[in-house]
Amino acid sequence: MDDLVMKLARSIVEARYPVVLTGAGVSTESGIPDFRGPNGLWRNEEIMDLLSLDTLYFMPDLFYSRGLEVLRVLRGKKPNPAHRAIARLEELSVVKSVITQNIDGLHLEAGSQNVIEIHGNLRTCSCEKCRSTFPFEHIEVSVAKGVIPPKCPRCGGIVRPDVVFFGDPMPEDFNRAVDEARRSDFMLVVGSSLQVAPAAYLPEMVERLGIINLEPTPYDKSALVVIHDKAGEVLPQVVKEVERLLS
Ligand code: NAD
C-alpha cells in the first residue's frame, strides 16, 4: 500500500476529532460534473448567473427552465466508492462529521449520519412566506403545469429550492460547520478546489489537514498529507488501512 495512504489513515485514527469536508469532486465518479476540475462542464460564468438570486426572482422563466435543467443533472445519481468509504469511516467511529458543499445528497444516501450540507439540498423546497417545506417534486409538478414560480399550497407564497444560490446568505448549517471545524484537530478535504468562499475558510480553522484532490489546491503547502488522485480509488484503500490499524 502507498506510503501516503498509510500516513493519511494513521493521521485519521490518531486524531481526537477528525472531520471530512467534501466538494463537487467527491461526486464526479457518480457522474456529476464539477465546476473547476479538468472535466468540469460548468466552468463558464453562465451557471453562476443562472443559479443566482437575481435569476430566481427577476427571471423565473429562465430559472425554472435552464436552471432547473442544471439541478436535474445532480438528482437521482448513486453514491460511489468515495461516499461509501466516508460513511464507513463514520461507522467505525473514527470520523465525527461530514461537511459538504454538495447539494446532491449522496453522503446521506451512502449512509453517513452526521452530515452538514452547507449549500442546502435537492430533497426539499420551501415557502418563502410561511416556511412550509415540501418534497422537491412539488417544484417539478408546478413547472410541468406552467405554474412559475411555484406557489405554496398552504398560503400562496413563493416556493423555492432549499439550495444556497449565488447571492443567498449562508444558512444556519454553515455555523454548525464552523463549530465542527473549530472543534476538529484533523480535517480530511476530498474533491474540493478550496476556492469557493466561505467554505474555503473552514480548513484554516483546523490544525492539521489531509487532502485528496485531482488537482493542487491553495492549502496543499500547509497540509500534512496530500494525494492527487481519484477519491473513489484512494478512499477505499484508506478505509482498509484504518480497519487494519483498529483491529
Ligand atoms: P470545484 O468544482 O471547485 O472543485 C472540484 C475539485 O475536485 C477540483 O479541484 C477537481 O480537481 C477535483 N476532482 C474532480 N474529480 C475528482 C475525483 N474523482 N477525485 C478527487 N478529486 C476530484 O468544487 P467545489 O470546491 O465543491 O466548489 C464548487 C461549488 O459548486 C460548491 O459550492 C458546490 O456546492 C457546487 N457544486 C455541487 C455539485 C454537487 O452537488 N455534486 C456539483 C458541482 C458544483
Mean pLDDT value across residues 92-112: 98
CA 196 – ligand 1 centroid, Å = 10
pLDDT in tens, 158-200: 999 999 999 999 999 999 999 999 999 999 999 999 998 899 9
Please identify which residue in the block is written with the cell numbers 472535466: 39
Domain boundaries, the chain: 1-32+78-119+169-247
- pLDDT given for residue 244 in this prediction: 98
Nearest ligand 1 atom to the CA of 194 is 25
Alpha-carbon separation of residue 99 from 19, 30, 83, 95, 211 (angstroms): 8, 18, 12, 11, 14
- Contact indicator for 37, 108 with CB cutoff of 8 Å: no
- pLDDT given for residue 38 in this prediction: 58
Give CA–CA dist 196/162, Å, rounded. Answer: 19
Which residue out of 28, 32, 34, 162 has the highest number of ligand 1 atoms within 8 Å of its CB and is therefore the one to mutate? 34
- pLDDT given for residue 41 in this prediction: 54
Cβ < 6 Å from ligand 1: which residues?
A: 23-25, 27-29, 32, 34-37, 40, 74, 101-104, 119, 191-193, 195-196, 212-215, 230-232
119 is catalytic: yes
Nearest ligand 1 atom to the CA of 27 is 41
- pLDDT given for residue 201 in this prediction: 96
Write the class of the CATH domain 1-32+78-119+169-247.
Answer: alpha beta
Q: Which of 135, 139, 99, 92 is nearest to 116 (CA)?
A: 99
- Which residue of the set 83, 119, 138, 228 is catalytic? 119
What residues have CB less than 8 Å from 75, skipping those under 6 apart?
104, 122, 136
- pLDDT given for residue 34 in this prediction: 83
- pLDDT given for residue 33 in this prediction: 87
Mean pLDDT of the chain: 95
- Contact indicator for 23, 102 with CB cutoff of 8 Å: yes
Nearest ligand 1 atom to the CA of 24 is 26
- pLDDT given for residue 203 in this prediction: 98
Give CA–CA dist 216/127, Å, rounded. Answer: 40
Give CA–CA dist 108/98, Å, rounded. Answer: 10
Indicate the angle between helix axes 81-91 and 231-246, nearest 10 degrees.
20
pLDDT in tens, 75-85: 999 999 999 99
pLDDT in tens, 22-72: 999 999 999 998 876 555 555 556 788 889 999 999 999 999 999 999 999
Mean pLDDT value across residues 144-155: 97
Letter string b/e over residues 168-207, b meaning 16 or more CB atoms within 10 A of that residue's CB: eeebebbeebbebbeebebbbbbbbbbeeeebbebbeebe
pLDDT higher than 90, residue 211 = yes
Name the strand (E) or helix (H) holding 126: strand 120-127
